[in-house]
Amino acid sequence: MFVVNVEAAIYDDNHWLFIKRSEQEEHAARQLAFVGGRVEAGARANDVLEQTLHREVMEEIGVQVKNLQYVNSTLFFADNGTPVVDIVYVCELASGIPYEKSNKEVKAVLWLSTSDLLDTAKAPEFLKKNVRQADSIRKQVG
């Protein structure tokens, strides 16, 4: 069995939105990350990945996103050994002001430019790779 996870690479005004995951998270606690989460068991909908992304963004940071574009998919293993299929979408902020709506999941909300994220030692390498790819897709789409 594996988990299907989606992540939102939210871009607005030359910056990317990241969260610092809370200490209570069972995977990657206290790390910088995109907003996201898993497809819930029993989810039955067309566009289940996109619907999951919209739900997670609203639950975690209280905003809506638009113009979702596929970036990549990867397989990794969570801290507890569970295999995770992770799908990243680049998207734009549609409405709302992001904040730490779910303090069980989100310790802080940060806006960083591509170069600032790539220059920070606190960002995991996979996140840097995802930002590079999301930035490339964003520029192609216009």
Encode pLDDT of 123-136 as tens digits: 899 999 999 999 99
User: Exposed, middle or buried: residue 46 (CB in 10 Å: 0-12, 13-18, 19+)?
Assistant: exposed
Q: Determine the pLDDT at residue 18.
A: 96
Task: Tabulate helix, strand, coil % of the chain (nearest 5).
Answer: 25, 40, 35
CA-wise closest residue to 55 among 21, 101, 17, 12: 101
Q: What is the pLDDT of residues 42-71, one digit of tens each?
A: 767 789 999 999 999 999 999 999 999 999
Residues of the chain above pLDDT 70, percent: 92
Residue 83 has pLDDT above 90, yes or no: yes
The architecture of the domain spanning 3-141 is Alpha-Beta Complex (3.90)
Decide: 16 and 9 in contact? Cβ < 8 Å.
yes
**Which band of pLDDT confidence, cut at 50, 70 and 90, is reported for residue 28?**
low
Cite the beta strand spans of 13-82 per DSSP E.
15-21, 32-33, 35-38, 64-77
Partners of 8 in the β-ladder: 35, 89
Average pLDDT, the chain: 90
Question: Do the beta carbons of residue 106 and residue 22 sit within 8 Å?
Answer: yes
Is 70 exceeded by the pLDDT of residue 26?
A: no
At 22, the pLDDT band (50, 70, 90 cuts) reads: low
Residue 24 has pLDDT above 70, yes or no: no
Would you kindly state where each structural domain of the chain is located, as residue ranges? 3-141
